[in-house]
Amino acid sequence: MEKVQYNVNDVVRMKKKHPCGSDTWTIIRTGMDFGLKCTGCGHFVMMPRPKFEKMVRGIVK
């Protein structure tokens, strides 16, 4: 199984929705941790790579 390559400024869809109602996030930072910005309200979160890879559904654009 191939690893998916995630890049800065990719928009990804997550399994769970953010409380604002949006389930799409923009990747701001990659590495051991991912920096994600909600496309709905602009909230920024940091997430460890294993948790991110488990929760992501796919790249939107």
User: Domains of the chain: which residue ranges?
Assistant: 11-59
What pLDDT was estimated at residue 59?
94
- Give the list of residues 6+ apart from residue 43 with CB closer than 8 angstroms, or none: 18, 20, 37
32-61 per-position pLDDT tens digit: 999 999 999 999 999 999 999 999 999 998
Per-residue pLDDT reduced to its tens digit, 11-21: 999 999 999 99
